[in-house]
């Protein structure tokens, strides 16, 4: 039997500083990789890494909104728990 439960979800901007820090710590393991368009001395494309934790707060908020991230009060992603009705 399945149950319907309510879960309080927060946007990144609504989280307190500790919860934001929890998410930032998680994101350190997942840098954003991008190519610079330039090559090194061996002819290999130069790749740079961009870290969520180094961004300004507004950039972090925009990224989370653009990706529809939802969080619990501790800063853990919970958007995967959301179900949509197909009616």
As averages over each run of 10 residues, the pLDDT of the chain (87 residues) reads 87 98 95 90 92 96 96 92 62
In a domain, 32, yes or no: yes
pLDDT value, residue 83: 66
In a domain, 58, yes or no: yes
pLDDT value, residue 35: 86
Query: Residue 87 and residue 82: Cα distance in Å, rounded?
Result: 16
In a domain, 5, yes or no: no
Quote the domain boundaries for residue 16: 12-81
Checking DSSP bridges between strand 32-39 and strand 45-50, what pairing results, if any?
antiparallel
| Structural domain count, the chain | 1
- pTM recorded for the entire structure: 0.77
pLDDT value, residue 1: 84
Alpha helices by DSSP H, 1-87: 17-27, 57-66
In a domain, 54, yes or no: yes
pLDDT value, residue 48: 92
In a domain, 3, yes or no: no
């Amino acid at each position: 039997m399945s149950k319907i439960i309510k879960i309080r979800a927060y946007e990144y901007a609504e989280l307190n500083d500790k919860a934001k820090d929890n998410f930032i710590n998680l994101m350190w393991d997942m840098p954003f990789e991008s190519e610079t368009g330039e090559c090194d001395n061996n002819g290999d494309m130069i790749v740079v890494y961009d870290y969520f934790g180094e961004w300004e707060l507004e950039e972090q908020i925009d990224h989370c909104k653009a990706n529809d991230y939802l969080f619990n009060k501790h800063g853990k992603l919970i958007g995967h728990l959301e179900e949509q009705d197909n009616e």
